[in-house]
Amino acid sequence: MVLIPEPRSIKTDRMRTFDFSKIRLGTSPLNETAQNDFLQFAGRPQADAPNILFQTDRALAPEAYRLNICEKITVVSRDEAGAFYALQTLKQILFQYGDQLPYCEIEDAPAFAYRGMMLDVGRYFYTVEDVKAVLDRMALHKLNLLHLHLTEDQGWRIQIDRYPMLTAIGARRSYTNFNRTPHKGYYTKAQIREIVDYAHAKQIKVMPEFDMPGHCRAAIAAYPALSCFDRELPVATHWGVKHDVLCAGKEETYRFIFDVLDEMLEMFADGYFHIGGDEVPKHRWRLCPHCQQKMRENGLKDEDELQEYFMNRVYKYLTEHGAKHVFMWNYDKLQPRILDKNIAFSLCGGEEKARDFTDTSAAAYYFDLPYGRIPLPAVCDHQIPAQAMGAEGQLWSEYLPNLQKCDIMAFPRTGALAESAWSGGCSWAGFQKKLQFYYTFLEANGISYTFGSRLDPKGLRKALDILWFEKRQLTWEGLHNLIDDRYVERLAKKRKAK
């Protein structure tokens, strides 16, 4: 019996089988959506009496379950999530054995409470149906948190009533890198609620991300006064780090942020929030009289402490208004001095001992990167630190413009992530034995994937894989930033002289 992720304990008796040619669910804790989803997958006529029974055992851990297949199928769980995950396991058993299921006893529980996937809808907009498809894929793998990256330099993707220009201007760009095709899209509040409700039916929480103070060119294009020098700039069209960031010195910046957070917190009530914090060039802040004044008023030693002050204010507001878990990236390998210790890190590299963190390793879980950079064996053999809250796969969308491309890059690597996060460990030696089953299961669920030698390219294939990825990243952004920095320096001098 092959199962992904691997349960804690499996006992099978292949000499005896249970006839599952018909189906009827007993009274269960499952929501109607989850029940219908399973019945549709099973695709069997209805039995005269229930042959899948559900029981409650409060002694079990959250999300844990026992699955017993003998004369009937019995699911025992503490909560709805455990029952839901038992049916995800049962789906794989049905797929392998058809109507004649071997007798078995499975005991299972997750090793880590946080098992996530980040979807970047800022660079490329994914429709509501696309996001639902991602949620379907997560549910099959017992992943339980969707991290939705909603704001970027290249696009603002969520309706905010108090600031309509965020979507009227910020949700569209004139072209993308060297592709001259315009791109646009955003989610209405009703669509966000639809996504959140669908996620909850799949036992998945949703964590929104408002990336700040960097990666905010789309917001600045809509409201130039949010930047240090009030310049009218377009929504970014090229990838790369932009030097125009939110002004950390103006109080109107914080009023804007808090207003936006108020509306986002109404839409996302799971208690998780991500505030970005990565890739924040300090060039504008060093020249900005508002930022320098803010530093003097608060005894901040430098612009790095100004960023920590900024993040602390945002964190404080969020927790005062209902957020329970607030995250930020440690992409820049921050060495915090005054950053609140209760802000958790999305840890992309290095070690963390002073605060809560999730493992978002750029060496294992950046699934947008080519397999030449992150081969499947590296994902399998990566060990999630025992002290981590859990792990999260990353689907940055600069080069994932649609769901099919997203699938090809994410699978089968997502299976290895799920096995590490749910089962507590994965190995290439063990996982590769499951690949043939996994491919057929993915195909049956309409999921594209990478296979064969492309999973671990060697020699020339690896070099070409990496070269093709690096070639696509070539832009004039570095030169543009250099020229623009000189312009802003002259502008700052002129304003100071007045």
From residue 476, give the alpha-carbon distance in Å to each of 180, 279, 489. 16, 18, 20
Instruction: Tell me the longest C-alpha to C-alpha distance in the chain.
Output: 90
Q: What is the dihedral of CA 212, 234, 193, 204, to 10 degrees?
A: -50
Distance of CA 146 to the CA centre of its chain: 5
451-458's contacts with Cβ under 8 Å and 24+ in sequence apart are: 451/412, 454/371, 455/371, 455/375, 455/376, 455/377, 455/412, 456/371, 456/375, 456/376, 456/377, 457/371, 457/372, 457/375
Helix (H) / strand (E) element for 46: namely none
Q: Amino acid identity of 412?
A: P
- C-alpha separations of 463 from 372, 408, 466, 471, 479 in Å: 7, 19, 5, 12, 27
Tell me the DSSP string of 315-384.
Answer: HHHHHHTT-SEEEEE-TT----SSS-TTSEEEE-SS---SS-EEE--TTTSBTTS-TTTS-HHHHHHPPP
Q: What's the rounded Cα separation, in Å, for the pair 429 and 437?
A: 15
Give the active site residues: 279
Task: Tell me how far apart the alpha carbons of residues 117 and 393 are, in angstroms, rounded to a whole number.
Answer: 5
β 114-120/145-149 pair status: parallel
159-163: long-range contacts at Cβ-Cβ below 8 A with a sequence spacing of 24 or more?
Answer: 159/186, 159/187, 159/188, 159/189, 159/192, 160/259, 160/260, 160/263, 160/264, 161/189, 161/263, 162/259, 162/260, 162/263, 163/222, 163/223, 163/256, 163/259, 163/260
- Residue 110: closest CA among 133, 92, 84, 136: 84
Distances from the Cα of 15 to the Cα of 68, 69, 107, 177, 281, angstroms: 16, 13, 20, 60, 65
